[in-house]
A = this chain, B = another copy of it.
Amino acid sequence: MTTLECLFCDQRRPFEIYDPFCPACGAPMLVAPTRSRKRIRRTAPTAAERFADFLPLKKYNPALSLGVGGTPLLRLGSVIDKFDLPEVLAKNETANPTASFKDRGTVVAIQKALELGVKKIGTISTGNMAGSTAAYAAKAGLPCLVFVKQDTPQDKILAAAVYGATIIKVQGDYGGLFRKSFEIGRARGIAFMNSVDPFRIEGYKVTSYEIFEQLGPAAFRAKAPVMIFIPVSAAGHLIGLLRGFLDLRGLGLIPRLPIIVGVQASGCAPISRAFRLGKVRVERFPNPHTIAHAISNPTPPGGELALRLLRESGGSMMDVSEDEIHRAHSLMAAKEGIFCDPASATPLAAVLKLKRRGQILTGAKSVLIITGSGLKAMEGLESARLDIRSAALEKLDQAL
């Protein structure tokens, strides 16, 4: 039986399917460490299998993985040259089965659901989560219920419904829907695996294991730090990555943690604002407005936990303007051949902001987490800036 713990109350209790929150303070609970002996299976074909002992599953089943992970770590050579940066690499999570990082968490959460005999799963989503959960539910043979915001673009709804999930567009407050989903789950026997689901968070650790393997141990022993820049919405992804590096430090594989920098859009930066103001509580961000829809979350459920873990680990939070996001988004595509969503451009925007301020450490290696594909955020493109023309075949020469 898996035990959950609350980092704020030191409360521990066995995991119950329909309730991942601390009974004392309401914070999302995390999977408590176990004393079982853990080893790395060095010859296993994927990082999830190599580090399976660090996942809260009796047995990791690659047959349900859809081929998740093993995503490329790409050196951004042109951007480095153009801005005279030290090493910058992109961990391209859009190469995952449903084109976003969510698959890393879903593959673990869904296997936990199967282990527990759950018969139906659910999620709430503004986009990527819906498609990921629906795809893995289809593969596992479980019915899936997805609540989306009423104004979610139709393409994102279709891209989840195609997997056979039931999609309900809900009018009302998204924070309220988040809480309501667990009520409905309890009443109807549906395991909701939302953004801060403790098993989902454990799945994100595998990204850190891969970054460690791809950069190599020497990078973490170097004098200059490894820095991880990650877009932050609910904060489950950031918490998971940090926990992955904590595992690696616990194993003695890295002598110290990388510096983790969470990045938000200035138009919706509740955690970044709290970090800057030295607060422990995250207040609702008023009038959120950003092109980075995937991280436009004014009431992030993992906000306080992220603040605490970042402060304990020497990490930080930043936010970047709409102009900075647009510019970084365009650079990623036109200089590096990576078409990501605007949220995924915030890490590069953050690096360029630090560079302008003279705050990039000499020799530091920066890893930017690219969380979602541009193909799912076409509305983020400013077609006016693109070079698109028309011509008749016989007049093609003149058009050039």
Which residues in A have some Cβ–Cβ distance to B below 8 Å?
63, 66-67, 70-75, 77-78, 92, 95-99, 131, 135-139, 141, 145, 147, 150, 154-155, 157-159, 161-173, 176-177, 180, 184, 187-188, 330, 333-339, 373-376, 378, 381, 383, 386-394, 396-397, 399-400
Contacts and interface: CB of A to CB of B under 8 A. Distances in A.
Nearest to A169: B390
Contacts of A394: 172
A167 B67 contact: no
Nearest to A45: B214
A184 to B, nearest CB: 7
A66 B72 CA distance: 8
A392 B392 CA distance: 50
A163 B333 contact: yes
Nearest to A134: B337
Contacts of A188: 400
Contacts of A336: 138-139
A268 to B, nearest CB: 21
Count of chain copies: 2
B150 A390 contact: yes
A170 B381 contact: no
Given A97-B95, A159-B375, A375-B159, A334 B164 contact: yes
Contacts of A63: 75, 77
Given A67-B74, A92-B67, A158-B383, A135 B391 contact: no
Contact of A171 (B157, B176, B393): B393
A92 B376 CA distance: 19
A147 to B, nearest CB: 8
A157 B386 CA distance: 10
A123 to B, nearest CB: 14
21 contacts: A66-B72, A135-B339, A145-B400, A147-B396, A158-B378, A159-B375, A161-B386, A162-B339, A162-B381, A163-B337, A164-B333, A167-B387, A167-B389, A168-B391, A169-B389, A169-B391, A171-B393, A176-B393, A177-B393, A375-B375, A375-B376
B337 A135 contact: yes
A389 B172 contact: no
Contact of A396 (B78, B162, B170): B170
Given A67-B72, A159-B378, A374-B162, A167 B339 contact: no
